[in-house]
Amino acid sequence: MSETISMTPSGQTVNDTIESEEPSLIDWRDMWKPLAWIVGGFLLFFFLPVDSGRFTGAVIESLALAKWYAQEHVLLCLVPAFFIAGGVGVFVSQGSVMKYLGAGASKVLSYGVASVSGSVLAVCSCTVLPLFAGIWKRGAGLGPAIAFLYSGPAINVLAIILTARILGPDIGAARAVGAVVFSVVIGLFMHLMFRREEEAKAASAMYMPTPEVERPLWQTTLLFVAMVGLLVSATWGKPAQAGGFWSAVFAVKWLLAGGFALLLGVLMVRWMHVKLYKLVLAGVAVLVPALVVPQYPLIAFSVGLIAFTTLLTTTRGETESWFTASWDFAKQIMPLLLAGVLVAGLLLGRPGSEGLIPSGWISSLVGGNSLWANLFASVVGAFMYFATLTEVPILQGLIGAGMGKGPALALLLAGPALSLPNMLVIRSVLGTKKTVAFVALVVVMATISGLIFGGLVTR
Amino acid sequence: MDIKVLGPGCAKCEKTEKIIKEAVAESGVAASVEKVTDVMEIAGYGVFGTPAVVVDGDVKCVGKIPKKADVLGWIQ
């Protein structure tokens, strides 16, 4: 180096030498990511179309939709649903379900169990694929494995509750029934198509997850009856016309909700070692706002949720696991759902108003109940990625913008079970041929059931 | 000693791996901890449910995050 400097007459050449030989202090590999965010943010705001009426309207729509969710759905529906989903994960013995999907299980039974067990086994999305691979290679074979893979994401507890609540009970029920029927049919088709390729099963030990606490089935059932009853009565909607059974229930819905809450509390004292004095204190804490400000039932309900959480967290044992499981769901899903609601509101607006995308486009693409509309919805649903539960606000926006109910169901049936990233993972397990067959079956079946459902609803 | 943590990479599996590594460091036992994320390989162990922990070929825990005290019991 020193020799180089002494030989060159001008400083210019020295700098050139250093530049080429010494490593730069600026490390672009670390910098490009934050820099891209900053430049992206700058460009976004530089060109932000705040003068456009459509844009400002869409922003207001997006905020209004988020507010509507916060007011109507978070406390009464979402938070109780998290506790129910957490309870499913902790109280339902997965091993007792899995034995029907093992290698020795009867074929008919294994299809049936696979098609409905998604609601119990697939509460965490990360368990779906290992379970699927296990059922295929070690257990009941390709058909039931496919049935499980399809129905799992579509009929988990949270998804069904939120779909029925926001999109209406008819679509909620059609989604649940459709997913179960579909999974059996698609599983059978896959089994028949690839019957010859099925290899001999590796006979070896199977390891099932063990439940933390063994509890008789009737006790578990009663726990869920109390929780689901509480959820249903608290969210009971005001019927359109007065009189009859529905409005009679509506009139006493808070009494009913209180009754189910009391039942739940008593069960927790009996079976989960919750101290009786704590339950009495919790009951008093809920009764005070319920009697003082009965016109604001949300206050009493919130106090009840806080009291319930306190009971769970101050008792050692399975109540802690219950709380942790529920918290994991909430932590994982809430941010995604908020983002989904904001984006759906921005692009599509609330029902009855427009967002960035003109309603005319939506209704021309997926309005009515034509074969084309259903097929389009199925294909888009199959390839698009929906983060957990975000399919609900997005569909709400699409229906508000003129999407038909048939295509909406088609999208719901093809959507959550499949996405482009998820297809790539399935391909790594099943291989290209079986994956293509699976995707094609889902799209075709979703289109057909969209047509049927759309025909039934609009008639 | 050869320890494998089976899981496709969700939060629970990462927590399990952390607990195992802490337990190994605490006990001072010479052990290799390997994370298995390939779904077919996980199925190959006959494990239904993740996270799962395999110590020297024996499946020790399936479908839940193990407690550190239990892990110490398996490796000592």
- Does residue A125 register a pLDDT over 70? no
Neighbours of A229 (CB within 10 A): 17
Q: What is the dihedral of CA A25, A28, A29, A31, to 10 degrees?
A: 100
* Domain assignment of residue A355, yes or no: yes
ipTM of the prediction: 0.73
pLDDT value for A288: 92
Rounded Cα–Cα distance for residues A175 and A39 (Å): 43
* Domain assignment of residue A324, yes or no: no
> Quick one: average pLDDT of A333-350?
86
- Does residue A387 register a pLDDT over 80? no
Taking only the tens place, the pLDDT of each residue in A138-147 is 777 888 888 8
A264 neighbors A319 (Cβ within 8 angstroms) = no
- CA distance to partner chain B, nearest, from residue A328 (Å): 9
A191, amino acid identity: H
Examine the residue annotation and report whether B10 is marked as an active-site residue of this protein: yes
CA dihedral over B40, A122, A425, A410, signed as positive or negative:
positive
* Domain assignment of residue A438, yes or no: yes
Rounded Cα–Cα distance for residues B64 and B53 (Å): 9
Q: What percent of chain A has pLDDT over 70?
A: 88
What the block records as the tokens of A377 is 């919805």
3-state secondary structure of A239: coil
Rounded Cα–Cα distance for residues A328 and A317 (Å): 17
pLDDT value for A443: 93
Q: Report the DSSP beta bridge partners of residue B6.
A: B36, B52
- Does residue A3 register a pLDDT over 50? no
Range of the domain at A351: 335-458
How many pairs of residues across A and B have Cβ atoms under 8 Å apart?
86
Asked whether the beta carbons of residue B48 and residue A206 sit closer than 8 angstroms, the reply is: yes
Rounded Cα–Cα distance for residues A292 and A286 (Å): 10
- Mean pLDDT check: name the lowest of A37-41, A278-282, B9-13, B36-40: B9-13
Asked whether the beta carbons of residue A429 and residue B9 sit closer than 8 angstroms, the reply is: no
pLDDT value for A281: 93
Total number of domains constituting chain A? 1
Asked whether the beta carbons of residue A126 and residue B10 sit closer than 8 angstroms, the reply is: yes
Q: What's the Cα-to-Cα distance from A194 to each of A87, A105, A114, A143, rounded to whole Å?
A: 38, 20, 19, 9
- CA distance to partner chain A, nearest, from residue B30 (Å): 26
pLDDT value for A41: 95
A257 neighbors A234 (Cβ within 8 angstroms) = yes
pLDDT value for A267: 92
pLDDT value for A316: 86
**Count of alpha carbons within 13 angstroms of residue A445, beta-carbon side:** 24
Taking only the tens place, the pLDDT of each residue in B17-73 is 999 999 988 888 888 888 888 887 887 887 777 788 888 888 888 877 888 888 888
Instruction: Quote the pTM value.
Output: 0.77
Instruction: Give Dmax over CA atoms of chain A in angstroms.
Output: 103
Rounded Cα–Cα distance for residues A49 and A55 (Å): 7
pLDDT value for A35: 93
pLDDT value for A283: 92
pLDDT value for A4: 46
Asked whether the beta carbons of residue A129 and residue B45 sit closer than 8 angstroms, the reply is: no
Q: What's the Cα-to-Cα distance from A12 to each of A15, A22, B50, rounded to whole Å?
A: 5, 16, 63
- Does residue A25 register a pLDDT over 60? yes
A347 neighbors A390 (Cβ within 8 angstroms) = no
- Mean pLDDT check: name the lowest of A14-23, A73-82, A139-148, A340-349: A14-23
Catalytic option among B9, B10, B25, B44: B10
pLDDT value for A260: 93
3-state secondary structure of B53: strand
Taking only the tens place, the pLDDT of each residue in A201-240 is 555 566 766 655 567 778 888 988 899 888 888 888 777 7
The topology under which CATH files domain B2-75 is Glutaredoxin (3.40.30)
Neighbours of A196 (CB within 10 A): 5
Mean pLDDT of chain A: 83
Rounded Cα–Cα distance for residues A41 and A49 (Å): 14
pLDDT value for A6: 47
Taking only the tens place, the pLDDT of each residue in A12-21 is 555 555 556 6
Give residue A36's pLDDT band: very low, low, confident or very high (50, 70, 90). Answer: very high
- CA distance to partner chain B, nearest, from residue A379 (Å): 27
**Count of alpha carbons within 13 angstroms of residue A379, beta-carbon side:** 8
Pick the residue with more confidence: A343 or B50? A343
Asked whether the beta carbons of residue B49 and residue A205 sit closer than 8 angstroms, the reply is: no
* Domain assignment of residue A368, yes or no: yes
3-state secondary structure of B59: strand
pLDDT value for A1: 42
pLDDT value for A2: 45
- Chain B residues 11-70 with a CB less than 8 Å from chain A: 11-13, 39-40, 42-50, 52, 59, 62-64
The residues, ordered by sequence, that sit 6+ positions from A348 with a Cβ below 8 Å of its Cβ are: A354, A355, A357, A362, A394, A397, A398, A400, A401
* Domain assignment of residue A285, yes or no: no
Taking only the tens place, the pLDDT of each residue in A277-301 is 999 999 999 999 989 988 888 899 9
A378 neighbors A410 (Cβ within 8 angstroms) = yes
* Element counts in chain B: helices (H) and strands (E): 3, 4
What the block records as the tokens of B24 is 């190994």
pLDDT value for A259: 92
E strands, chain B, in order: 2-6, 32-36, 52-55, 58-62
- Does residue A98 register a pLDDT over 60? yes
